[in-house]
Amino acid sequence: MLLLLGMLVLAAPSCTSVQSLVESGDYEATIELAQRRLTGKQKKNPKLVAALETAVNRANEEDVNRAAFLREAADPDWVRIHGIYDNLKRRQDALRPLLPLFDKNGRKATFRFVHVEDLVVESQHRAAAQLYEQALSELSAGRRGDKAAAREAYHTLGRIDRYARNYRDTERLTREAEALGRVYITVEVVNESHTFLPAGFEDELLRLRTAEMDDRWRIYDLGSRRSQEAYDYRARIVIRDIRVSPERISERSYLDERKIVDGQEYVLDGNGNVAKDSLGNDITRPREVLVRAEVLEVLQQKSALVTGSVELYDLRQNRLVDADDLTAEAVFENYASTYRGDPRALSPDSRRRIGNQPQRFPTDADLILDAVAVLKPQLQNRLADSHRLI
């Protein structure tokens, strides 16, 4: 009796949950749960079998009615209709391995299957044709200069492959839609700093990794290889100010000192004699000494600061789309150090700098080009991020 009661308690939640799913109209969840719990069982739970039977028949009926309603529309959505028929077919195919389905009491479940195969094929062809016509309409707008419509045509043509492989001339139209949907951006450097730019400044700044900026729809042109009429956007890199600091040399001296162990020393007793241990041996201890080293440090410093902005213009609409500031600094810094005294007193920082020699200061042009190298990653990221605006 206890065993039987335990089995009933364990079975009750599963049946109750399936039944509640049926009553709430969640037939797909009911079917998935009931199938999983019935598969592989020799004795099929009557409530699970009944729930599966009800859910499948009601879901099939709903799908048939929904598809029929959509077919009656003035312009039927064949993609949606095909999805309904395809889902209905998948549901029935998944159920077939369980058939015939008897519960443990011997009752056979009755499933009202729908002959849906021809409907799947029909809606598949109609969906492909409908998407093709939609793509032609979008492509027509793309040919008139609507790049967004051309991109939509590209994506619509890509959807057709789910319903019909190599449908009509979709391959050719896809290439055309991709070409029409592309946006070309010319990039130029504008000097508004009222100073001369060093030789190679512009070339170095525009030596960007276009592979990280280009994608299917955006092509950046850093060399103005096309006529100006061919561009959709212009990215202007405006250099507003360039400042180079004077060469600075500063000196300082400081003292490093620390206690170190330098050999052994005798321990003296109260009378000033060498103390002895219990065996009569002399007692010694480590001898600590304070060592010092005077460090003379020469610091060389020079910096270059480049400030500006990147501006994105829509050439078709003749308007500014976005602008971001750019700032980059290159710093030359060199420590040269010498010392007098005990090298054991030197700190780790002092040791790293000891022996360094004064260096020749970089020219203004060299330091400005170093600042350009710092500026390029910022510019790269700003241009790559323009996909949200283009």
Query: Which amino acid, residue 182?
Result: R
Residue 163 lies in a domain: yes
Q: Rounded CA gap, 190 and 24, in Å?
A: 67
104, 129: one domain: no
Give how many domains the chain has, as a whole number.
2
Write the pLDDT tens digit of every residue in 151-198: 999 999 999 999 999 999 999 999 999 999 999 999 999 999 988 999
DSSP-derived 3-state class of residue 132: helix
108, 164: one domain: no
Q: Rounded CA gap, 367 and 304, in Å?
A: 6
Among 165, 181, 197, identify where a domain stops: 181
Beta bridge partners of 274: 268
Beta bridge partners of 255: 294
What are the Cα distances from residue 203, in Å, to 359, 364, 368?
Answer: 28, 17, 13
The encoded tokens of residue 144 equal 């008139």
Q: Rounded CA gap, 376 and 205, in Å?
A: 6
DSSP-derived 3-state class of residue 164: coil
Write the pLDDT tens digit of every residue in 337-373: 999 999 999 999 888 888 888 889 999 999 999 999 9
What pLDDT is recorded for position 12?
Answer: 42
Show the CA angle centred on residue 194, arms to residues 375 and 377, nearest 5°: 5
109, 26: one domain: yes
Residue 151 lies in a domain: yes
Residue 186 lies in a domain: no
Q: Rounded CA gap, 188 and 81, in Å?
A: 51
Q: Rounded CA gap, 377 and 379, in Å?
A: 5
Query: Which amino acid, residue 213?
Result: M
Pairing assessment for the beta strands 284-314 and 233-244 based on DSSP bridges: antiparallel
Pairing assessment for the beta strands 248-266 and 284-314 based on DSSP bridges: antiparallel
Write the DSSP symbol of residue 151: H
Q: Sign of the C-alpha dihedral, residues 345, 348, 349, 352?
A: positive
20, 78: one domain: yes
pLDDT in tens, the chain (390 residues): 444 444 433 444 445 577 777 777 788 888 888 888 888 888 889 999 999 999 999 999 999 999 999 999 999 999 999 999 999 999 999 999 988 999 999 999 999 999 999 999 999 999 999 999 999 999 999 999 999 999 999 999 999 999 999 999 999 999 999 999 999 999 999 999 988 999 999 989 988 887 777 788 888 888 666 666 689 999 999 999 999 999 999 999 999 998 888 888 888 888 888 888 888 888 888 888 899 999 999 999 999 999 999 999 999 889 999 999 999 999 999 988 999 999 999 999 888 888 888 889 999 999 999 999 999 999 988 888 877 777
Residue 135 lies in a domain: yes
76, 132: one domain: no
166, 81: one domain: no
Q: Rounded CA gap, 237 and 197, in Å?
A: 13
What are the Cα distances from residue 13, in Å, to 27, 35, 53, 227?
Answer: 18, 16, 19, 73
Find the domain containing 97 and state its range: 13-114
What pLDDT is recorded for position 224?
Answer: 64
132, 108: one domain: no
The encoded tokens of residue 374 equal 């710092």
94, 152: one domain: no
Residue 345 lies in a domain: no
Residue 18 lies in a domain: yes
Among 88, 114, 140, identify where a domain stops: 114
Q: Rounded CA gap, 55 and 25, in Å?
A: 8
pTM above 0.75, yes or no: no
84, 109: one domain: yes
What pLDDT is recorded for position 16?
Answer: 54
Q: Rounded CA gap, 129 and 125, in Å?
A: 6
User: How many C-beta atoms surround the C-beta of residue 370 within 10 A?
Assistant: 20
68, 107: one domain: yes
CA dihedral 75, 76, 80, 85 (to 10 degrees): -170
Write the DSSP symbol of residue 194: S
Q: Rounded CA gap, 328 and 378, in Å?
A: 9
**How many alpha carbons lie under 13 Å from residue 34 in its C-beta half-sphere?**
33
Write the pLDDT tens digit of every residue in 85-108: 999 999 999 999 988 999 999 999
Residue 97 lies in a domain: yes
For residue 100, say if its preceding peptide bond is cis, omega within 30 degrees of 0.
yes
Closest CA to 15 of 42, 39, 46: 46
Q: What's CA 52's distance to the chain center, in Å?
A: 43
257 φ, ψ (degrees, to nearest 5): -145, 150
155, 107: one domain: no
DSSP-derived 3-state class of residue 312: strand
Among 166, 181, 196, identify where a domain stops: 181
Residue 147 lies in a domain: yes
134, 101: one domain: no
